Structure 1
Amino acid sequence: MEVTALQLASLRSGMYLGPFRSEQEVIQSQASWGADPLEAVGGFRALAYDKEINYPSSLAPSGRVFWSIHQLESSSTSGDVAEATLIVGFPNIDWPSLQSVYGWAALQYQAWARGHLTIAANYAQSVLFYADNVIEFWIDDDHYFGGDYYAYRRAPLVLHLSPGSHNVDIRLIRDVRVMGGIGQPKISIKLKAESSNGSLVLVGHRALIPSIVNGVLASPFAFVPVRNQGRTAIDILDITTNAKIPPVSFSLEVTYVGSESPDRLLSTVISTAFSTHNSHSPHKITFLHPGGIVSYAILRAPSKKAISSLSPRKRLPILLNLHGAGLEADSDQVRHMLDSVPDLPSWVLFPTGVTPWSGDDWHTWGFADVEAAIAAIIGWIETVGWDGPSVDANGWLVTGHSNGGQGTWYALTHRPDKVIGAAPVSGYSSIEGYVSYQMWAEADPGATMSLQNSMGSFRHELLIPNFKGIPIMQQHGSADKNVPAFHSRRMNQLISQMNGDSAHQYVELKGKSHWFDGVMTTVPLIEFYDILRHEADWAKLPQAFTIMIANPADMGARGGLSVDQLINPDRLGRIEVERYPTSATWVLRTSNILRFHFIAPEKLDTLPHKLVIDQSSLELPPGKERFACWLVWSEQTFWHVSDNRQWLAEERHGTQLGPLDSILRSVGHFLIRTSTPASDVALQIARNLFQYFAADSEIDDLNAAVGSQSGNVISVTLGTDSSMLGSHSDPVGLEDGGGLYIRRRGGIKKVFPFELGMGAIFLRPLLDKRLELVIWGFDKHGLRQAARLMPMLTGVGQPEFVVVRKRCAWKGAAGVLAMGSFDNLWKVSEASFVS
C-alpha cells in the first residue's frame, strides 16, 4: 500500500500580503462580518504573487502594502502527517505610534498567507486539516469559515483531496484577547494535515465521565465524542461496556453502520479511567446542559469541620468560581485555586461554561451551563447519599478571575436576586470595554446603532444599578499588563457614582500582575469570603433601587420584580423603585417598560400589596394570585393589573427575545434543515456549533417538520422560491416579483431587487417559545455571507435580522442593505436600519 505524503507550504516558506486594518475592532466582529479589503479586488484567492504590485492599507508606510516571502517558524513531514507553524509580525509598521493614538485596537489587524498542500499519491485521499488560531481559509476554490480560533482541536476539517498540489489561503487575524497586547503584535498559527483512513473515530480518544465519590459515580451522565471521517453518513447503534460496577478503568465499545454497507456492523473501542475522590475534595460531576449535551463542573462539598456544628436541615450557599479564558475547569490551576480555604461553610463549584472559553464568555450559552451546574448539586446529594447540610441553589457568592471576573459582573447585573456577594478579580468591565470598538468601519449611524443595541445586554457598565446593595470586593494587580487595572478602577468609580454603596470595596495590589499563585486567596479575599459565615452580611435589598433592562430574556428578577417585555426593543428599559415597608407600598417610575410581574423571592421578607406606578395607583391581588398576574402598560389604560394569558400565545416573550444569539437558548439539540445546494453551508454550521459550543445538532431535509423536536431550528436555504422564507405577511420575505422585502410598520414594504451576493439571516417564532433562525442566499456567495453571522464568537453585534449584499465582503456591517430588531409582535422596530 502506498503511503500518503503530505506537505504544507512547501515546508520552507509562504507568501504573505498585509497588514490591513480590521474594519471592525475585535476579531469576533471583523471576522464574522467579513470586512476584508481584498474582496474589493476579487479576494486574495484571485491574486497571483507579484512583488511589484501593491495594495492600499491604512496601516502601512505610504499607505501601500506589498507581497512578501516569509520563512515558516517550523515545519515537519513524516509519512502521512505534515505540520507547520507560521509567525507573522510586520516589523515595518510603526505599531507604537498607532497604539499611542488608538490603544490596543491598533494592534488588531488582518493579512493573508498562501501555501500549498500536496497529496503525493495516485488516488484521492481523506485528510484531516487542523488550523489552530485560524477562523477562515480557502482550499483551492472551496471556502471554509469557522476554523479553530481557540485551538480546541475538537472538529478538524475533513477534506477529500485529489493527488497533486492544492492552494491553501489562510486569513490571518490578530485579536488582543487571544494573542496578547504586549510586545510586537505578531500572529501565530499552527497547521496540521493528517491522512485519514477510518470512517468513525473517537475525538481525542477520551470520554467525559464523572468522578467516583465515596465508592459511587458522582452523576449518571457521560459523553463520548465521535467524528465521521468518511464521505457517507453513519448511524451509531449502541454504546456498551463490560463494567458492572464502577472500576478504576474500563472500555467503551461504539457499534455503528455506514450507509454504504448498512448490513455490516462496525465498532470502535475507547479505554478510559475514573478518578476517585472523597466528597470534600474537588471532583468532576456531569449534567445535562439545556442544549441537550453533557457538560461538567468541579464540585467541592463543605468540609467536615465546616459543617460539624450545623444542622442537616441547614442550606448552605454556593461559592461560584468562574475560570478565565482558555482554561479547563478540570485543570489543576482552576480546581485547586481555593484549596487554601478548605473549610468555608459553603459548596464550592467551578463551572466550565462548556468550553475553556466558557462557550460565549459566560453569557447566553455559557451562563446556562452555570445554572445547570448549580441545579446538578441537588442530584449529587441524592446520588452519593450526602447526609450533611443541603444547598441553597439561590444563594451565590460569585468570584472569577480575568474573563471569569467579567462573568462575575454578568452574574451581578443579570441575576442580582441570587447573588449574596461577589468578587471580580482582575476582570475586564465588558467585551466592548476590553478593547475599544473605536475602529468600526465607517457606517451609517443607524446601522451602527443596530449593532450597539444587539450587544446592550453585555455592557455591564450600563447595568450597574442592578446590583446596588450587594457586597462586592474588587481586586486587581496594579502591574497587570493583560487586563489593565483601569477596568476595575472604572467599575469602582461607576459603582460609587451610580450606587453610592458602602458594601463595595476595591483593593489594588501594588506591583502584582494578572496572575500569580494565590490570586484568589489573598488576605482581602479570604476576609471577604468570611461573609459566608455571617448571613447578616449577605446582600440586602435597598429601600430604593433601580432595575436596568437591555434584554428581558437575559435578566433575572430584582426584588422579586421580573420584566417580561420592553415597549421598544432598541432602548434600555428602567424601573426606579422606592419601598415603603411600613405601608407595604412601592412607588415605581418606569421608562420603556411594557409588562412585568412579581415572583416570590426567598430573601425578601416583604412584597408590596400596593403599587404607585408613574402616578397610577394599583392594588395587587392577595396571596399567590399576586404571582399569577402581570402589570401592563397601554396608551389607553396606562398601567393596569391583568391575569389574561392570551398574550403568551400571540406576542414575543421569554427565550424568543433578543438578537441572533438568542438561538443559543435552545432546549434540546439543534435541528438544521437544508436542501442539497446549501448542504455544505449547513454542514459548516453544524461543525462550528460543535467546535465552539460543543453543541449537538441534527441535519435534515428542508421540508422536515419543525414541531417534532424540542430544540431550536436553523433553516439554510438557497434560491428565489418565495415559499422558502414563509408567508407574504412575514416581516422579512421574498417577493414573487424578484426581490427580498422588509415590511416596515404600517405594512409598508421596502423591496430590494435580487442581486449577486445578496443574503439574509433573521429570527422567527416557533411554538413553545422556540426559535427558528433562517439563513438565506440568492446565490452561494450571499448564503455564505449571511451564514457568517450565525452566532459563534462573542462581541460580534448580530441584530435580529440582517440583509447582506456583495459589498459586505469588504465593507462588513457598513455594507448591509438592512438590519435591526423585531418588536413584541414580530414587526420590524422603528429604529431598525433600512437603506
Structure 2
Amino acid sequence: MVIKQHRETSPLLTFSDTWDVLGPFQIGTREATWGADPLERLGGFRALEPDTKAQFKSSLAPNGLVSWSSRHFDILSISPTTVEGILTVDFPRVNWPFLQSVYGWAALQYQAWTRGYLNLGTDSPQSILLFTDHALEFFVDDAHYFGGDFYAYRRAPLVLHLKPGIHKFDIRLVRDVRAMGGIGEPKVDVKLKVEIANGGLAIVEQKLLISDMVNETLASPFASVPVRNEGLGWLWVSTDSAEATFSAAMLEKAPLALAPGQSRPLAFHVSSQGPPVHSISLKITYAARTCHESLLSTILFHKLRVRSIYSPHKFTFLHPSGTVSYAIIRPPGNAIDEIPQIRLPILLNLHGAGLEADSDQVRHMLDSVPDLHAWILFPTGVTPWSSDDWHTWGFADVEAAAAAIPDWIESVGWRGSSVNVDRWLVSGHSNGGQGTWYALTHRPDRIIGAVPVSGYSSIQGYVPYQMWSEADPRVTCLVQSALRSFRHELLLNNFSGTPILQQHGGVDDNVPAFHSRRMSQLISESNNDARHEYIELKDRNHWFDGVMSTQPLREFYRDILGSDSDLPQLSQSFSIVIANPADMGSRGGLVVDQLSDPDQLGKIEVAPSSTTDAWVLKTSNILRFHFSTTHGSKPPAHDIIIDKTPIRLPLAHEKRVYWLVHSEDGSWHMTDDRDWMLELRCGNQLGPLDSILRTSGRFIIQTWSAETFDMALQVSRNLFQYFAADSEIIHSSADVDRRKGSVISLALGPDLLSHPSKVQSISITKDRGLVLRKGNGQTIAYELRDGLGAIYLRPLAVGRLEVVIWGHDDWGLRLASRLVPMLTGVGQPEFIVVSNACAWKGAAGVLAMGSFDNSWNVSESSFIS
C-alpha cells in the first residue's frame, strides 16, 4: 500500500496510488442485486489478502483462472479537505470479441473487486462524505454498503464518521451494458470523491428545484431542496421566507425529521406577497432532539430564471409520492390555438436514459416544429434515468405532469387554448422510445398516436440474461415473470388501431435497429390493424441533431394533431392483454381488476354479436372487470355476452361502478358490492415487489429494533438516490396507520413484527421458523439458521401496501434488504426467502420465491425448495 502525500496542498485526505484488483468473474444482466458473487463462497473479498501466486476459478478468463493485479488510481482534484479520483479497470487478457460473438452484449458484463486505502490525516475523528460514482456495492473498514451511486447522481452521499489514520475500501466493480455501453473495450470507471463534512445540517443549494419565471410569476409554486444530516443526532428542519415579498411554507405541517446520515428533499410552497420578485431567499432552521430551541438559521439565496411563456420552460408539480418533480412545458403558440374554448391534446416527449429534461438537448428537441396544435411536454420521469425505465415510478410522473397543466394555466394566467389531459400523442427516443411502447400497451385509451424512435423493445430484449448463475428453471421463470408487465412484445394487441410511426437509425450501435424491426414485424403478425409505418434511416446512428423532427416525423405530428385529435376509431373487434391489472389502464372502456391466476397473462377478446347489438366477450384468466368512461371511452350497448353468459348493463347515466365477476361454476354475474376490496388483493397491491413504487405519499421506513436502523438508513438513501423519493424513518411504536404511503418494515430475530391484518401467509415463530402458507392450507417451514432472511409484500388498510424485510441475523437481513427495488430489470417476485447461498449463487440460492393469490396465500406456481 502506497499513499502519496501532496505536501504542496497539505491535504487531509489522500487515496493510495495503487489499488489491488481481483477478477473478472461472470455476472448476468442486473444480477448483482441478488448477490451472485463467487468470492462469497470463500468468505468474501474482504477476507482475502493480495497474493500474486493465488489463483481463482473464473469462466471468463483464459484457462479458467484469474489472479491478483493492480491499477493506478488517478487523482482528478485535491484540496486540503477534498480528494477526487478515478480508477479504470479492464481485463485485456480476456477474449471479449469471441465471447461477444457467441453471447452478445451479455458477455461484456462482468464483476471484479478492488481494494485501496484512504488516509485521514486529521488529529481527531471526522464526518466524511463519500461519493461512489458507478459503484453499486462496497465495504469501508469491513462495514458493508449496498446501493452506492450506480448512475453517478451524487444525490445522497454516504456519511461516514472516521477516526484518523488508514481506512480500507473494498469496492465491487460491476460492468453493466445498460449503464456503461456495449461498444469498445469493456472497462469500468469508478470515480470516488471524499470530502470532510461540516457536520450538522447540509443544504444542497445547487440541487434546488424551482420553477422558471414566466409572465412575471412562477410557473408553479412547488419547490424543494435536498438537506442532509451530517451529524450524530437527529435533526428537525423547517423553512420560511427570509423577506416579506413572498412566503415559503413547508408542504408538511411538522418539521422534517432527519436521521443521522440521512438525506431528504425539503419540499415547500412559494407564493408572492407583492410585486413580482426575481430571486428568493429562504430561511432554513433546524433543531436537535435534545433541545427545542433553534440551533441554526441559514439563508439560501436563489436567482430565478426568466423565460418567455412561449419557449420551453420548467414548471414543478407533485409526484403521487409527494416528491416535487418538474417537467418542461411549451404551450401552443400559433394564433389559431389561442382560443380558450379549444382543448388541445398533449405531445409527450420521453427523453433517453441519463438525460435531464431541462438540458438543451431535450428542451429544444422540437423547436423546428413551433406551430403544432398541441401542448408540448417533456417529463423528467423524476430522474435522468427516468427512475425505472418510464414504468411504475417514472410513468406516474408522466401522468402527474400531464394532469398539472391546468394548474400551470391558472398560475401564469394563460388565456389561450385549454388542454385535454386525456389525449396524448406520445413520442420518445431510446429509453423514451421504450417508454412510448409502455404508454401504448398500458394506456391505450389515451393515445391518439405514437412515435417510438430508436427505442428498445423491452428490458429483456435489450441485454440478454444468459449469463446469470444457473438456477432451477422455475426460479428463472419467476424472475422473468416479475418483469412481464414490461414485456411489450406480448401486449401489442392493446393498441390495435392506433397510428404509429417508428424511426430508427440503420447503423445504431447503442440500440440496434433490430428492436424496431422486430416490433414492426410483431405488429404485422399480431393482426393489429394499427396505422403503422417503419422508417429506417440509412447511415444514421443512435443520436443526431434533429432526430425527433425529421421530415417524416414532422408530417406525422401535423397529421395526427391536425385532425380532431380524438381517439382513433376502435375496431368492432379488439382485444386486451393484461400482465398486471395495477399497471393497466382501460381499453375500449374495459378495466380489468383481477386475474384468476395472477401468475399468468389475462385476455379479453371483444367482437360484435352477429344477431344483436350486444358485445360478445371471450375471456381467459380474468376474474373481475368493469367498464369505465373516465377517459372518454364509449362502453358497449346495453347488453353483453361474456363466455356465453348474457349480462344486461346498467344505463350509461348510472355512475355507480358495477363489476363483472367470474363465478366458480364458470358463469358470470354483475355486482356493485365493494366489500371484496377489503378482503382480496386489488389496485396498487397487485404485482411484484416494485408495487411499492405506486406509493401515495412518502415512504415510511419502520424499524423494529435498534439493530435494524443502519439498514433502514441504507434503504432510505437508495430510495432517494435512485428515485429522488422521500422517506421517513420511524420506530415501530409510531402509528403507521395515520401516515400515507407505502411502508417498509425491517425486523431482526425470531419474532416477526405484529400485523393488524388477518393475512398471515408468511409467519415466523421460534418453534417452527419461517412458515409459508398455501391456499390449500398446506404449510412449509424453514428452520431458523444463519443467513436466513425474507422480503415480501403484505396488505395494509385502505389499499395500502407494506414490504417486510426480515432476517434471522444481520447477514440474512442484508441479503433480503438488497432486493428492495432500486435498479430496473432485477425481477423481484412478491416474496423471496433468501439463504447464505444467495451471496454467491444469487437467485439460484433462494429457498423459496413466488407470488400470492388473490387471497394473499402463496400461489401454487411458486418455487419451494
- TM-score normalised by L of structure 1: 0.97
C-alpha deviations, 1:585-608, integer Å up to 9, x for none? 111111100000000155545623
Q: 2:718 maps to which residue?
A: 688
CA contact (8 A) 2:712 2:729 kept: yes
Match of 1:26 in 2: 29
Query: Corresponding residue for 2:794?
Result: 764
Q: Structure 1 residue aligned with 2:664, among 613, 619, 635?
A: 635
* 1:337-356 matches, cutoff 5 A: 337-356=365-384
Contact 1:201 1:268 survives alignment (8 Å):
no
Q: Secondary structure of the equivalent of 1:679?
A: helix
2: CA distance, partners of 1:289 / 1:666? 10
Contact 2:344 2:565 in 1 (8 A): no
Pair 1:414-2:442 in alignment: yes
Question: Displacement, 1:728?
Answer: 8.8
Query: Is the Cα–Cα contact under 8 Å of residues 334 and 373 in structure 2 kept in the other structure?
Result: no
Count of residue correspondences: 827
Deviation at 1:817, TM superposition (A): 0.5
Change (3 A) 1:559 1:181: same
Q: Is the 8 A contact 2:18 2:71 kept in 1?
A: yes
**Deviation, structure 1 residue 265:** 2.7
Q: Deviations over 1:778-829 (max 9, x none)?
A: 0000000000000111111100000000000000000000010011111111
C-alpha distance after superposition, 1:260-302 (max 9, x if no partner): 5543430222221212223211111111111011110011110
Q: Any conservation in 1 of the 2:127–2:199 contact (CA below 8 Å)?
A: no
Other structure's SS at 1:451 match? helix
Deviations 1:53-106 (A, max 9, x none): 011000000001000011224454321111110111100000000000000000
2:822 maps to 792
1:678 aligns with 2:701: no
Query: 3-state DSSP class of the match of 1:789?
Result: coil
Cα 1:80–1:261 change in 2 (3 A) is farther
Q: Which residue in 1 is equivalent to 2:678?
A: 649
Counterpart in 1 of 2:131?
130
Match of 1:195 in 2: 196
Does the 8 Å contact 1:599/1:627 carry over to 2? no
Of 396, 421, 435, which aligns to 1:368? Answer: 396
Q: 2:352 aligns with which of 306, 310, 324?
A: 324
Structure 1 residues 193 and 669: alpha-carbon distance in aligned structure 2, compared to 1, 3 A threshold: same
Alpha-carbon contact 2:806-2:816 (below 8 Å) kept: yes
Q: CA deviation at 1:725?
A: 6.7
Match of 2:51 in 1: 50
Aligned to 2:267: none
Q: Which residue of 2 aligns with 1:173?
A: 174
Partner residue, 1:426? 454
The DSSP-based 3-state class of the residue aligned with 2:738 is: coil
CA separation of 1:204 and 1:116: change in aligned 2, threshold 3 A: farther
Alpha-carbon distance in 2 for matches of 1:304, 1:279: 13
1:92 aligned partner? 93
Q: Deviations over 1:401-460 (max 9, x none)?
A: 000000000000000000000000000001111001122221111111211111110101
Which letter does structure 2 place at the counterpart of 1:492?
Answer: S
Q: CA deviation at 1:7?
A: 4.2
Q: Structure 2 residue aligned with 1:665, among 684, 688, 694?
A: 694
The alignment partner of 2:713 has SS state of helix
Question: Is contact 1:240–1:253 with CA below 8 Å preserved after alignment?
Answer: yes
Query: Is 1:571 paired with 2:571?
Result: no
Q: After superposition, where does 1:194-593 map in structure 2 within 5 Å?
A: 194-242=195-243, 243-244=245-246, 245=272, 246-307=276-337, 311-501=339-529, 503-530=531-558, 531-535=560-564, 538-579=567-608, 583-593=612-622
Matched, 1:710 2:740: yes
Unaligned runs of 5+ in 2: 1-6, 247-271
CA distance in 2, matches of 1:380, 1:723: 45
Deviations 1:379-408 (A, max 9, x none): 111122212221111100000000000000
CA distance in 1, matches of 2:745, 2:819: 14
Please identify, of 190-199 and 55-64, the stretch whose mean Cα deviation from structure 2 is larger.
190-199
SS in 2 for 1:224: strand
One-letter code of the match for 1:757? G
Q: Match of 2:690, as an amino acid?
A: D
- Residues 364/536 of structure 1: CA separation in 2 closer, same or farther (3 Å cut): closer
* Cα separation, partners in 2 of 1:660 and 1:765, compared to 1, 3 Å: same
Q: What does 1:699-778 correspond to in 2, within 5 Å?
A: 699-724=729-754, 730-778=760-808
1:383 is paired with a residue whose SS is helix
**CA distance in 1 between partners of 2:750 and 2:220 (Å):** 50
Matched with 2:269 is none
2 CA distance for matches of 1:726 and 1:440? 39
In structure 2, give the amino acid aligned to 1:795.
G
- In structure 2, distance between residues paired with 1:787 and 1:292: 24
> What is the Cα deviation at residue 580 of structure 1?
5.2
Three-state SS of the structure 2 residue aligned to 1:374 is helix
Cα pair distance change 1:582/1:193, threshold 3 Å: farther
Separation in 1, partners of 2:610, 2:413: 42
Structure 1 residues 602 and 370, CA gap change in structure 2 (3 angstroms): closer
How has the CA–CA distance of structure 1 residues 403 and 107 changed in structure 2, closer, same or farther, with 3 Å as cutoff?
same
Q: Structure 1 618/155 Cα, relative in aligned 2: closer, same or farther at 3 Å? A: same
Tell me the amino acid that sits aligned with residue 326 of structure 2: Y
CA–CA distance in structure 2, aligned partners of residues 403 and 454 of structure 1: 20
Q: Does 1:615 align with 2:644?
A: yes
State the superposition RMSD in angstroms. 1.8
Name the amino acid aligned to 2:747: T
Contact 2:618/2:643 (<8 A) preserved: yes
- In the alignment, is the contact (CA less than 8 A) between 1:126 and 1:158 conserved in 2? yes
CA distance, structure 1, for counterparts of residue 229 and residue 677 of structure 2: 42
Letter in 2 for 1:26: T
Q: 1:234 to 1:499 in 2, by over 3 A?
A: same
Residue 567 of structure 1 aligns to which amino acid in structure 2? Answer: S
- Letter of the 1:16 counterpart: V
In 1, distance between residues paired with 2:397 and 2:591? Answer: 21
Q: Counterpart of 2:458 in structure 1: which amino acid?
A: S
Separation of aligned partners in 1, 2:381 and 2:307: 23
Task: Give the match for residue 813 of structure 1.
Answer: 843
**2 CA distance for matches of 1:336 and 1:363?**
24
The reply on whether 1:117 has 2:145 as its aligned counterpart is no
Cα distance in 1 for residues equivalent to 2:492 and 2:528? 11
Deviation at 1:712, TM superposition (A): 1.1
Q: Structure 2 length as normaliser, TM-score?
A: 0.93
Which of 831, 842, 851 is equivalent to 1:801?
831
Q: Is the 8 A contact 2:850 2:861 kept in 1?
A: yes
Query: Per-residue deviation at 1:722?
Result: 4.2
Q: Distance in 2 between matches of 1:213 and 1:317?
A: 22
- CA distance in structure 2 between the partners assigned to 1:728 and 1:651 by the alignment: 12
Secondary structure, counterpart of 1:814 in structure 2: helix
How much has 1:738 moved relative to structure 2?
4.4
Instruction: Report if aligned partners of 1:476, 1:485 keep a CA contact under 8 Å in 2.
Output: yes
Which string of whole-angstrom CA distances, capped at 9 and with x for unpartnered residues, describes residues 517-541 of structure 1?
A: 0000000100110110112785221
What's the offset of the Cα at 1:626? 7.2
Shift in Å, 1:13 = 1.4
SS at match of 1:746: coil
SS of the aligned residue for 1:773 comes to strand
Alpha carbons of structure 1 residues 402 and 562: separation in structure 2 relative to 1, 3 Å: same
In structure 2, the partner of 1:830 is: 860
What is the deviation of 1:565? 0.1
Secondary structure of the corresponding residue to residue 745 of structure 1: coil
Matched, 1:17 2:22: yes
AA at the equivalent of 1:210: S
Deviation at 1:636? Answer: 2.5
Residue 329 of structure 1 deviates from its aligned partner by 0.6
Quote the residue 2:254 is aligned against. Answer: none
SS at match of 2:781: strand
Structure 1 partner of 2:261:
none
Letter in 2 for 1:483: V
